[in-house]
Amino acid sequence: MAVKNNNKKNKTLDVSAIENWLWEAACVIRGPVDAPKFKDYILPLIFLKRLSDMFDDEVARLGKEFGDEKKALTLVRQDHKLVRFFLPQKARWAEIALKTTGLGEYLTDAVRAVARENPRLGGVIDVTDFNATQAGQRILDDDRLQALVQKLGEYRLGLDDVEPDILGRAYEYLLRKFAEGQGQSAGEFYTPREVAVLMARILDPQPGQTIYDPCCGSGGLLIKAHLRLFEKRGEKANGSRRLPSTVAPLRLFGQEINPSTFAMARMNAFIHDMEAEIAIGDTMARPAFTGDDGTLRRFDLVTANPMWNQKFSASSYENDTYGRFARGVPPSSSADWGWIQHMAASLSDGGKMAVVLDTGAVSRGSGNQGSNKERDVRKAFVEADLIEAVFLLPENLFYNTTAPGIIMVLNKAKRHKGQILLVNASKQCSKGRPKNFLEDGHIEAIGEAYLKWEAVEGLSAVITKPEATKND
């Protein structure tokens, strides 16, 4: 059903509708803006629309409480703590929608004003210059910006209009569209949704736990863990799923090296209406989460999809002051086991981690008669009985490669000591364009093989630690 541009409430904004809406928004700015840049303009405006509608809802609620909406707005201006985020008048959508000239400069000023009033949003909402030029010409002129504002104004995104995860799915849709257009480099920050859902199922987060992603990209793995807890322990209230007051939420932590992706991760967390501590910086050189004594902070769960086979010099490991690489220095050709060691060092006693890696991480150097750095580190982890499971994924799932990839699970409190579960999920997928994908039934089958610790013919097998050692 077509929705008129009257900004009225719409209770049927489901995933399909929101994707169509966003595609139409992207089409508004096609031409002047390359597909990979759609998100730079659309995401901050969706975020601003969400904040504006939430602000209006909160003022309306206070109006009922105080008996008058104008009085409520006056009180909110005097005490910003009455609302979650305070929006100055120029940043409210009703004002923006009326603007017909100088819109690029106006929007840039508006998002910066929001960041000034709400320091938590600094570096999140104000990262795009809507007035930017290239070769002396505006990248996006005011006419197209105005058309984009009108398109994004077609739906209300307030507290009672959409569930936070519907907005998160919208966000995810744009990232996926970007990944499809950008190809390999997009895989650095975007993990396919169904892989993230599977990892959350494997980690099985419990109330009040801490979870950490040392290379969090746009935050998808953390958010899927957060949503998994909601799925298991949440209750329906006012049409959306919430945790009851007796269930503590997950506490989420992430670090990201790329400034624009860092901003996306924080925006993603706010859109999902969740608290997450996201830090910027190089995790391998300067991990952000440390204790007062300078040691690494430890977490109940760790989840990650680091860039595969990154190259770090030997000095990166040898000069480490955090004691992360006691099981050996990885080769400079691949940092996979460097990342694994950082994550293992960040696990609390009894903690569990799931990490996506290149398949070579569990096989390179096998059968080598001499010393092999990667195999030797891997052997140390097997002998310490830390590796709990390895999942072989289907081919052509990831945007940065057609290679299958694996999920490896490390557990400091293994349920089955001396055993490792191997899951061959290579056929558990559906063919798609441009990428294959896992359906709910595939995720269920793969996840259950792990949670039930089952050997299923053609899918999973349980091997012993000596068998793993024998086969390198």
402-452 pLDDT, tens digit per residue, is: 888 999 999 999 999 999 999 998 888 888 877 788 889 999 999 999 989
Mean pLDDT, rounded, of the chain? 87
The residue extents of the domains of the chain are 15-162, 180-470
Which residues does 431 contact at the CB level (< 8 Å), separation at least 6? none
Residue 92's pLDDT band (boundaries 50, 70, 90)? Answer: very high
Per-residue pLDDT at 438: 85
Q: Note whether 421 and 223 are within 8 A (CB).
A: no
Cis peptide before 434 (omega within 30 of 0): yes
CATH number of 15-162: 1.20.1260.30
Per-residue pLDDT, 35: 58
pLDDT band at 42 (very low <50, low <70, confident <90, very high): confident
Which of the pair, 23 or 424, is modelled with greater confidence?
424
Angle at Cα 75 formed by Cα 70 and Cα 76, nearest 5°? 95
Average pLDDT over residues 273-289: 92
What is the Cβ-side half-sphere exposure of residue 83, based on CA atoms within 13 angstroms? 29
State residue 179's pLDDT score.
65
Q: Is the pLDDT of residue 338 over 80?
A: yes
Least confident of 181-185, 226-230, 243-247: 181-185
Q: What are phi and psi of 123, to 5 degrees?
A: 75, 10
Quick one: pLDDT at residue 177?
73
**So what's the pLDDT on residue 9?**
47
Q: What amino acid is encoded at 285 in this protein?
A: A
Max avg pLDDT among 13-27, 78-92, 186-200: 78-92
For the domain spanning 180-470, the CATH number is 3.40.50.150
Give me the residues paired with residue 354 across strands: 303, 409
- Residue 2's pLDDT band (boundaries 50, 70, 90)? very low
Question: Which secondary structure element, helix H or strand E, spans residue 351, and what is its range?
Answer: strand 347-357
Look up residue 120 and give its two tokens: 């938590």
What does the pLDDT average to over 261-282?
Answer: 88
At 152-192, the pLDDT tens digits run 999 999 888 887 777 677 777 777 776 666 554 444 557 88
What integer is the mean pLDDT of 10-19?
70
Task: Choose the weakest-confidence range: 87-91, 331-335, 336-340, 386-390.
Answer: 331-335
Whether the per-residue pLDDT at 5 is higher than 50: the answer is no
Question: Average pLDDT for residues 372-388, to the nearest whole number?
Answer: 92
CA distances (Å), origin 72, targets 52, 57, 68, 86, 261:
16, 12, 6, 13, 37
Long-range pairs, 189-193, Cβ under 8 A, ≥24: 189/217, 189/218, 189/256, 189/258, 189/261, 189/264, 190/217, 190/218, 190/220, 190/399, 191/217, 191/220, 191/221, 191/305, 191/356, 191/398, 192/397, 192/398, 192/399, 192/435, 192/437, 192/438, 193/220, 193/224
pTM for the full predicted model:
0.85
**pLDDT band of 327, cuts 50, 70, 90:** very high
